Structures are given as structure tokens and as C-alpha cells.
């Protein structure tokens, strides 16, 4: 790696990812490290230009007060302590009380004048570094990639095609939890337009059977993640000499799956769901990128805008939006309602404006009337959120006529539904997905 680096020592602040992102937005690479990183580990980081110790409000984890070691201040690298109230105060530097939107501006003098870091973090360098690293890691071996067609896996595919060409085997697993028309589109774009090696597997029945009666969200994720790997292993056995598995893991997946100080928010499909007997070595070239950086990487690689700016779709797919134990009829209604939402958002130009929008069907029924008779039906919940990095999100304020149109269409066209609701909750406290 050629770029300069600012290390953030994690004392549990929820602001750390925003801080890292903000520093990267200034053109300087930044990564978050556990607060108890050892002296030799920290010294081994190439081009370390500065250290930020960010305590935030959560310096007590599981009843223990945590702090960075005193040796950090004697490394000969400038140290900035955010929050006066703990630890030693760094030399020549004032305290920044809170992480806010002006933080980047406030950090500039520390990063550029005190640390003398160079703004040499950009996607061109990132892609060049990754292509080199991928070639070193993979050699003449073959890689199997889970290609969901979402932004992350598409960018990984493009990076790998650039690095290793036809040593890459993309596998698209239709787990029965895809959105309407999605698998067809993946085949069209990757097989026909990009000429990638693409294997299409329809495993819908297998997934839905495994998921029958399973209501616990973590359990559902683990089943879906686990089955995914098994399907890949079966495909790998049909191919000769596959040793690597490509994954679209990104930085928020890693941060949210639990650094030493952050509590587990959810075990993400790409991290926590892997079975222990996994046979592959992982290739995860996007694991230090935030979502907006992944898109920039896609642009750098020349992917079409429709693909790069497409809304994200979680690995477990509609499985985390068909709340509780998945049933085939409710899943089908969800797929239809989601397709209507997407179509009407596109008609209203909202697909260009809103970061992520989808339908959810909880596992409850409420009373309604149909043909003069009582009719117990599901509610469809619509959710539309905006975010930069998926760590914090606000809701989109949709015009009433658009909501009315979507509501009327869902009630008229989707089986089993008798109510439509709009989810007003930002993240936090809610996560973007319902499960
Ligand atoms: P949450 O619900 O954690 O979602 O606020 C943040 C973003 O991540 C997506 N997401 C996932 N993506 N595997 C994925 O690949 C997952 O298990 C998963 N869970 C959530 C979610 O759609 C949102 O964009």
C-alpha cells in the first residue's frame, strides 16, 4: 500500500466510522483499530502519519474502563485525543468536543499540518493496489464469486475480472429470495454483456425448505449464509481447482459485526454466517471501503451507472423482509408489493434520489373487509431511507400522491394484503432492515 494512513484507536465511540470516512473524504486513508492494538502491530503499519484516540461517550465496555496504552504517545507519531476528559492530552492540539459535520474542517490542520499526511488516497490508486494484491494472493488459481448482482458483488466481480480475467467463476444463486426479475437481469448483464464466466443455480426450493418454520432473524441469516456456502462448495467441486471464494464484504459489515468495543448489532451475512468447516480462502477486496467508496470504485472500473448506483440489496434478500417464519404465499406477496414500490418510485423519479427503498411484510394479520365479509390480511410496510454509509439513515419524505398510488396498487394487485403503512423511523434507533 502506497497511501499515507491515519489510525483511529477505537475506544467504543459510535462516531469512529464517520470519523474514518470523513478523513478519507479529505483524501487521506484512515482505518479503525482496536484500542488494545500492540506497539509492534501499530509500528508495523506502513506510512502511519498520525493517531486519533476517539473516546466518545462509551469508554466503559462491559463494566470495564478502557484506554489506549501510554506508549502510544511516545511513538514519535502525532496523537490527537478527542474529548478532554480522559487520558493524556496530545501535545499542541486542542480538544474537539463532539463529532459533527464540521469535523472534517476541524481535522484538516491536524492531518495536513501536524501529521504532514499527503492526500494520496483515491480510487485510481486503490484499484491499482488491489489488482496487484489480488494477483499476488491468487496467482494462477481460480476464484469462485457469489454474484448477487448488487453493487458490492458487481464491483468485486469487475475488480476480479480486471485482475485475473477468466480465472474468475461467478456463481449466481437464486435462493428464492430475489426481487422480481432480478436473476434474469444478472444473467443478461454478466453473461451476455460482460462475458464473465457465469454459472446460474436455481436453489429456491432448497432454501425455502430449510427456512420452513424458522422465525428467529439470526437463525434465518445463518441458514441462508450457510446454504450459500454449501451451494458454492457443490459448484466448486464441479470445477477443477477452485481455492478462493470472492466476497463483497464492506467496512460497515466488519465494524457492525463487532470490533472489540462495539457490541454486535447484527451478524452480517458476509461475516457471521459462515459455517466453520468452510473450504475456501477468502478474497475480500472491498473490506476496507464504505458504501459510497465502493460505488466510486465501480465508476473507476467503468461499470455502467445503473449498476453502480443501484440500491443495495442484502445478501439474505427478501428473507429479512418477510418477517418471522417465511411462508411461500407471504413471500410471493412481498415480491409483488416490492416490484410495485420500485416501479412507482421509478415513475416518480425517486429511484434516482432515494438510497434504499423496499417493502416489508410482518408476520401478523389484521382485520379488513372484502366483498362485504371480514378478511384477515397482512400489512405491507414501505420503507425508504437515505444514508451515506449505511451506519446512520434518515427517512425520505414521500409526497402523498405517490404514497396513495403505491397503496392503491398494492391493495388492488397483491394477494392477502389489506393495509399499507409507511415506516417513519430513522437509523438509529431502528436498523434499515426490519431483521
Ligand atoms: P441495517 O439493517 O443493518 O442495514 O441498518 C444496513 C445496510 O446493510 C444491508 N444489509 C445487509 N447486506 N448482508 C448484506 O449483504 C446482510 O446480512 C445485510 N443486512 C443488512 C441493508 O440492506 C442496508 O443497506
pLDDT tens-digit readout, 351-375: 989 999 999 999 999 999 999 999 9
Q: Would you list the DSSP string of 34-61?
A: ETT--HHHHHTSTTEEEEEEE-TT--EE
List Cα–Cα distances, 212 to 183, 206, 223, 228, 232, in angstroms: 22, 10, 11, 16, 22
CATH of 123-308, one of 3.60.15.10, 3.20.20.70, 3.40.50.620, 3.40.50.2300: 3.40.50.620
Among 156, 274, 291, 390, the mutation site with the greatest number of ligand 1 atoms within 8 A of its Cβ is: 390
**Residue 266 — pLDDT band, cuts 50, 70, 90?**
very low
| Alpha-carbon torsion (289, 27, 13, 89), positive or negative | positive
Question: Mean pLDDT across the stretch 270-281?
Answer: 55
CB neighbours of residue 27 within 10 Å:
16
Q: Calculate the average pLDDT of the chain.
A: 86
**Are 278 and 232 within 8 A, CB to CB?**
no
| pLDDT of 44 over the 50 cut | yes
Give the pLDDT confidence of 361-415 residue by residue, as tens digits: 999 999 999 999 999 999 999 999 999 878 899 999 999 999 999 999 999 999 9
> Higher pLDDT residue, 240 or 347?
347
Please check whether the domain covering 5-114 is classified as CATH 2.30.30.50: no
The ligand 1 site (C-beta within 6 Å) comprises 221, 266, 268-270, 312, 314-316, 356, 390, 427, 431-433
**d(CA 53, ligand 1 centre) in Å:** 28
- Report the pLDDT value the prediction gives residue 101, as an integer from 0 to 100: 60
Atom 21 of ligand 1, residue of closest alpha carbon: 314
Residue 104's contacts (CB-CB under 8 Å, 6 or more residues apart) are 22, 23, 25, 26
CA distance 121 to 111: 13
Q: Which atom of ligand 1 lies nearest, measured to the CA of 433?
A: 2
Most confident residue range from 97-101, 292-296, 378-382? 378-382
- Say whether 232 sits in a helix, a strand or coil: helix
CA distance 19 to 17: 5
- Report the pLDDT value the prediction gives residue 272, as an integer from 0 to 100: 42
Question: Mean pLDDT across the stretch 25-42?
Answer: 89
Q: Which atom of ligand 1 lies nearest, measured to the CA of 358?
A: 22
Give me the count of residues in the chain: 435
> Higher pLDDT residue, 126 or 275?
126
Residue 348's contacts (CB-CB under 8 Å, 6 or more residues apart) are 399, 402
Q: Which atom of ligand 1 lies nearest, measured to the CA of 269?
A: 17
Give the pLDDT confidence of 161-179 residue by residue, as tens digits: 999 999 999 998 999 999 9
Domain boundaries, the chain: 5-114, 123-308, 321-422
| Domains 5-114 and 123-308 fall in the same CATH topology | yes
- Report the pLDDT value the prediction gives residue 11, as an integer from 0 to 100: 79
**d(CA 314, ligand 1 centre) in Å:** 5
Q: Which atom of ligand 1 lies nearest, measured to the CA of 225?
A: 17
CA distance 312 to 150: 6
**d(CA 433, ligand 1 centre) in Å:** 6
**d(CA 390, ligand 1 centre) in Å:** 8
Atom 18 of ligand 1, residue of closest alpha carbon: 314
- Report the pLDDT value the prediction gives residue 69, as an integer from 0 to 100: 76
**d(CA 270, ligand 1 centre) in Å:** 10
DSSP classification of residue 311? P
Question: Mean pLDDT across the stretch 284-309?
Answer: 88
**Residues paired with 5 in a beta bridge:** 29, 48
Written out in words, the top-level CATH class of the domain with range 321-422 is alpha beta
**d(CA 434, ligand 1 centre) in Å:** 10
**d(CA 394, ligand 1 centre) in Å:** 15
DSSP classification of residue 338? H
CA 334 to chain centre: 22
List Cα–Cα distances, 368 to 178, 332, 372, 418, in angstroms: 29, 20, 10, 6
Amino acid at each position: 500500500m502506497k497511501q499515507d494512513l491515519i489510525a483511529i484507536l477505537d475506544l467504543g465511540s459510535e462516531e469512529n466510522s464517520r470519523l474514518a470516512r470523513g478523513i478519507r473524504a479529505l483524501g487521506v486513508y484512515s482505518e479503525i483499530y482496536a484500542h488494545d492494538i500492540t506497539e509492534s502491530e501499530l509500528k508495523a503499519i506502513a506510512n502511519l502519519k498520525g493517531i486519533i484516540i476517539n473516546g466518545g461517550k462509551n469508554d466503559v465496555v462491559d463494566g470495564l474502563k478502557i484506554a489506549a496504552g501510554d506508549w502510544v504517545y511516545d511513538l514519535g507519531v502525532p496523537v490527537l485525543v478527542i474529548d478532554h476528559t480522559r487520558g493524556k492530552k496530545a501535545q499542541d492540539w486542542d480538544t474537539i468536543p463532539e463529532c459533527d459535520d464540521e469535523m472534517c474542517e476541524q481535522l484538516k490542520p491536524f492531518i495536513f499540518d501536524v501529521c504532514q499526511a499527503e492526500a494520496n488516497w483515491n480510487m485510481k490508486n486503490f484499484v491499482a493496489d488491489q489488482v496487484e494484491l489480488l494477483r499476488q494472493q491468487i496467482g494462477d488459481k481460480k476464484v469462485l464469486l457469489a454474484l448477487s448482482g448488487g453493487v458490492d458483488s458487481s464491483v468485486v466481480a469487475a475488480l476480479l475480472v480486471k485482475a485475473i480475467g477468466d480465472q474468475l467463476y461467478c456463481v449466481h444463486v437464486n435462493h428464492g429470495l430475489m426481487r422480481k426479475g432480478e436473476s434474469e437481469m444478472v444473467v443478461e448483464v454478466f453473461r451476455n454483456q460482460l462475458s464473465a464466466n457465469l454459472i446460474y443455480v436455481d436453489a429456491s426450493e432448497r432454501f425455502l425448505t430449510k427456512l420452513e418454520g424458522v422465525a428467529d432473524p439470526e437463525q434465518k441469516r445463518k441458514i441462508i449464509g450457510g446454504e450459500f456456502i454449501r451451494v458454492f462448495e457443490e459448484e466448486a467441486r464441479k470445477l477443477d481447482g477452485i481455492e478462493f471464494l470472492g466476497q463483497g464484504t464492506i467496512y460497515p459489515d466488519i465494524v457492525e459485526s463487532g470490533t472489540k468495543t462495539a457490541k454486535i448489532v447484527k451478524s452480517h451475512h458476509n461475516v457471521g454466517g459462515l459455517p466453520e468447516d468452510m473450504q475456501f480462502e477468502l478474497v475480500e477486496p472491498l473490506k476496507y471501503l464504505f458504501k459510497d467508496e465502493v460505488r466510486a470504485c465501480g465508476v473507476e472500473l467503468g461499470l455502467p451507472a445503473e449498476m453502480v448506483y443501484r440500491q443495495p440489496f442484502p445478501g439474505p434478500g427478501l428473507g429479512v423482509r418477510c418477517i418471522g417464519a417465511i411462508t411461500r404465499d407471504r413471500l410471493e406477496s412481498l415480491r409483488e408489493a416490492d416490484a410495485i414500490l420500485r416501479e412507482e418510485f421509478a415513475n416518480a423519479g425517486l429511484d434516482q434520489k432515494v438510497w434504499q427503498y423496499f417493502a416489508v411484510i410482518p408476520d401478523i394479520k389484521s382485520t379488513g373487509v372484502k366483498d362485504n365479509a371480514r378478511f384477515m390480511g397482512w400489512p405491507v410496510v414501505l420503507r425508504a431511507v437515505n444514508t451515506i454509509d449505511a451506519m446512520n439513515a434518515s427517512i425520505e419524505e414521500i409526497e402523498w400522491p405517490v404514497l396513495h398510488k403505491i397503496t392503491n396498487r398494492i391493495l388492488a394487485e397483491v394477494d392477502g394484503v389489506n393495509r399499507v403503512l409507511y415506516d417513519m423511523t430513522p437509523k438509529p434507533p431502528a436498523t434499515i432492515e426490519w431483521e
